[in-house]
Amino acid sequence: MKIVILGGAGLMGAGIVRDLLSERAIIDIRCVRICDSSLERMNKLKAELNDPRIDLRQLDVTNPAEIAAALDGMQLCINSVPTLAGHQMAIFEAALAARVSYIDLGGLGTYTVKQLAEHARFAAAGVTAVIGVGADPGMSNVICRAVANELDTIDSINLYWAAELVGAENPVLCPPYSVSTVLAEYAHPSTQFLDGKHVQCAPQQGREFMTLPEPWGHCEFMYSPHSEQLTVPLAEGIKEKGIREFTWKLHLPHREHEAWVGLVKAGFNDFEEPLLVDGVAIKPVDFLSALINRNIAKNAEHIPAQDSHEIHLAIGRGRKNGKACTVRCEVIVKPNPMYASYVDACTSMNASIAAQLILSTPQRAGVFAPESYFDIPSYFRELERRHFSIRLVVEN
C-alpha cells in the first residue's frame, strides 16, 4: 500500500507516520510519502525513523500542481494540514480528481457539511472519503455509534472530552494541539443539536460540571465547535431512533483553560483581519503561534515532565426493551511508553487506524463520517492494541 500524508512533518502528521510504520501495521505498507513545506522537519523525521519506505516531497500546498504530483500513484491521502489554514476543500477535491481515497482530521465543523454534500460525486467516481478521523472527531464518533447501537430509541447522546496534566506546574503554555484549533474552540460559535434541530451557540457556552475519576476530578465543560454534532444525530440508524439532543463539550486543565480564555479576551479570536505593526501586516493567530513556539523553544529546560491523561466519554439516554436506559462508552488514554515520541498519540494513532482499516477492507465509495463507515469491533480492537482502555456500560 502507498500512502501520502500532506502536512506529514507537522505535529499530527509526524505521529501518523510513526504509527503507520510501526509493528502495529495491519496492512503491507510499501511507501509513506511525506509532503510538507518544511524540508528541515521532513529530513529530521526521516533521519529519526530511518525507514526506507519514507519518500519526501517538499510541498507548497497553495500550488494545485504540486498537490496533484504529491497524490500521483498513491492509494490513500491523509490530509493533516491544519484545517484553518484554508486548504481543506482544495486537497479534498484533488483527491477526487486523482481517484485517491481520502481522510482528514476534521474541520471544527467548518468544512464538514460542504464535504458531505459531495457524497454523490465521490460515489460516482468510485472514491472513498472519510472525514474527521482523529480522536475528536474520529474515535469519538465511533463510541457514539457504539452507544446508539445499544438503544432501541434515543433521547440524547452527550459527548465529552477532558484532558488533565499530572506533575509540576508548567510555566510555559504548551498547546495540546495546534494553536489555531485551540483558539477556534474557545473563540468560535458552535453548532449543537438541541430539541431536534441544529442551533448555533455562542463561544464558551453550555457550562456543565461533572465529577470524573482521578486525576480529572471535578471538571467544568463547555460547548465547542466540532463536527460530531453535525453528523452523528443525522446518521442512518441513529436519526431513525428519534434522537432529540446531541452535544459536544470540552474540558482543558484549569490553568490552561484560563490562559485560552484570556487570549480570546485579548483579541486573538480575530483570525482573518491582519494587524498592522510598524508597517508589517500579520494575522493575530499567526503571531501568537510563532510566539508560543518560540517561547517553548527558549524555555525548553524549564518545561517539567507532565503526564497527560484523556477521557473520551459518550453518554446516551433512551429506551431498551421498553425500559429507560443509559449507556456510557468511554475511552481512557493514560501515559504509556508507546506514546513517548508523540505530541498527541490519540489523534495521530486514530488517523493511522482509520487509514489502515479503510485499506484493509473492501471500500465503500462516497463521503462518510466515521460513525457511518467503520466496523466497531475492528476499530476497538485496534484501540486496545495501542493501550487505549475502552469501557461500555449499559444501565437499565
**pLDDT (mean) for 135-163:** 97
Asked, as a colleague might, if the bond just before 370 is cis with ω within 30 of 0, I would say no
Assign a CATH topology to domain 139-341+384-395.
Answer: Dihydrodipicolinate Reductase; domain 2 (3.30.360)
Q: Tell me what pLDDT residue 84 has.
A: 77
For residue 223, the model assigns a pLDDT of 97
pLDDT at residue 228 is higher than 90? yes
Please name the amino acid found at residue 360: S
Q: Residue 201: is its pLDDT beyond 80?
A: yes
Give the pLDDT score at 343.
Answer: 87
What pLDDT is stored for residue 208 in this prediction?
A: 97
Residue 107: pLDDT over 80: no
Instruction: Enter the pTM of the model.
Output: 0.93
Q: Within 10 Å of residue 237's Cβ, how many Cβ atoms?
A: 11
Res 273: pLDDT: 87
* Residue 364 clears pLDDT 80, i.e. is over it: yes
Predicted pLDDT of residue 180: 84
Parallel, antiparallel or unpaired: strands 101-104 and 128-130: parallel
CATH of 2-134+345-375 given 3.30.70.380, 3.30.365.10, 3.40.50.720, 3.30.70.1560:
3.40.50.720
Task: Record the cell numbers describing residue 53, joined without a space.
Answer: 519506505
Does residue 81 contact residue 57 with C-beta atoms inside 8 Å? Answer: no
Per-residue pLDDT, 106: 87
Higher pLDDT, 132 or 108: 132
Q: Name the residue ranges covered by the structural domains of the chain.
A: 2-134+345-375, 139-341+384-395
pLDDT at 129 exceeding the cut of 90: yes
pLDDT at 85: 80
Is residue 305 exposed (0-12), middle (13-18) or buried (19+ Cβ within 10 Å)? exposed
CA 130 to chain CA centroid, nearest Å: 12
pLDDT at 125: 98
Beta strands at 389-395 and 323-333: parallel, antiparallel or unpaired: antiparallel
Residue range 296-320: average pLDDT?
Answer: 95
Mean predicted confidence (pLDDT) in 237-250: 97
Looking at the predicted structure, is the pLDDT value of residue 271 above 80? no
pLDDT tens sequence across 19-72: 999 999 999 999 999 999 999 999 999 999 999 999 999 999 999 999 999 999
CA distance 290 to 206: 31
Percent of the chain's residues with pLDDT above 70: 100
Query: Is pLDDT above 80 for 110?
Result: no
CB 344 within 8 Å of CB 177: yes
> Among 21-30, 137-146, 172-181, 192-201, which is the least confidently predicted range?
172-181
- Label residue 279 left, alpha or beta by phi (over 0 means left) and psi (-120 to 50 means alpha): left
Q: What are phi and psi of 198, to 5 degrees?
A: -80, 135
User: Would you state the pLDDT for residue 256?
Assistant: 93
Confidence of residue 362 (pLDDT cuts 50, 70, 90): very high
Give the Å distances, CA to CA, from 349 to 33, 125, 210, 258.
17, 29, 28, 29
Given a cut of 80, is residue 392 above it in pLDDT? Answer: yes
Averaged pLDDT score across all residues of the chain: 95
Q: How many CA atoms lie within 13 A of 215 on its CB side?
A: 16
Report the candidate in 390, 258, 375 with the shortest Cα–Cα distance to residue 334.
Answer: 390
Q: Which of the four pLDDT bands, split at 50, 70 and 90, describes residue 83?
A: confident
2-134+345-375 and 139-341+384-395: same fold? Answer: no
Pairing status of strand 280-282 against strand 197-201:
unpaired
